[in-house]
Copies of this chain bind each other. A is one copy, B any other.
């Protein structure tokens, strides 16, 4: 692995830590980052009693779905900054990541959130100097698509 690839890997590892264990609400959701590169990120989480939103059908709360999609969208928008982060001192990278924020989010709920494990992924659709647009998906087991979303993120 050359120096550039190593510095990129460090950046992605930092993002995986930040979006997985360091963000308090992501811990509440039980999110683990399962992958991240310049094109986007993936996350996984397990069903728990706490995450239920429909007590009649015992399915995921719509707010859990929107929160995880927003998180994987933010991870993806942050990951698209990898080239800009290269060679920057740690303080500058922190400041850059602190500025990342959601401008708006749309979620389409396609099927009830039923199952034991869920995964979510994001893919960059537009990445400008200031604004990134990301499309997100959430799947239950057996690759069943339960929700899609689109988020616009401030990145500069």
Give chain A's interface residues, CB within 8 Å of chain B. Answer: 18, 22-29, 49-57, 61-64, 66-68, 70-71, 74, 94, 97-98, 101-112, 125-126, 130-131, 133, 135, 145, 148, 150, 152, 154, 156
Contact = CB atoms under 8 A, between A and B. Distances in A.
Contact of A102 (B24, B62, B97, B98): B62
B101 A126 contact: no
28 contacts: A22-B55, A23-B53, A23-B54, A23-B61, A24-B49, A24-B51, A24-B61, A25-B50, A25-B51, A26-B53, A27-B50, A28-B51, A29-B63, A56-B94, A56-B97, A66-B66, A67-B67, A104-B106, A104-B152, A105-B105, A108-B126, A108-B133, A110-B126, A111-B126, A130-B130, A130-B154, A130-B156, A131-B131
Contacts of A102: 62, 107, 109
A109 B154 CA distance: 11
Given A23-B55, A57-B98, A106 B150 contact: yes
Mostly, the A contact residues are mixed
Stoichiometry, copies per complex:
4
A130 to B, nearest CB: 5
B109 A103 contact: yes
B24 A50 contact: yes
Given A50-B25, A53-B25, A108-B125, A103 B133 contact: yes
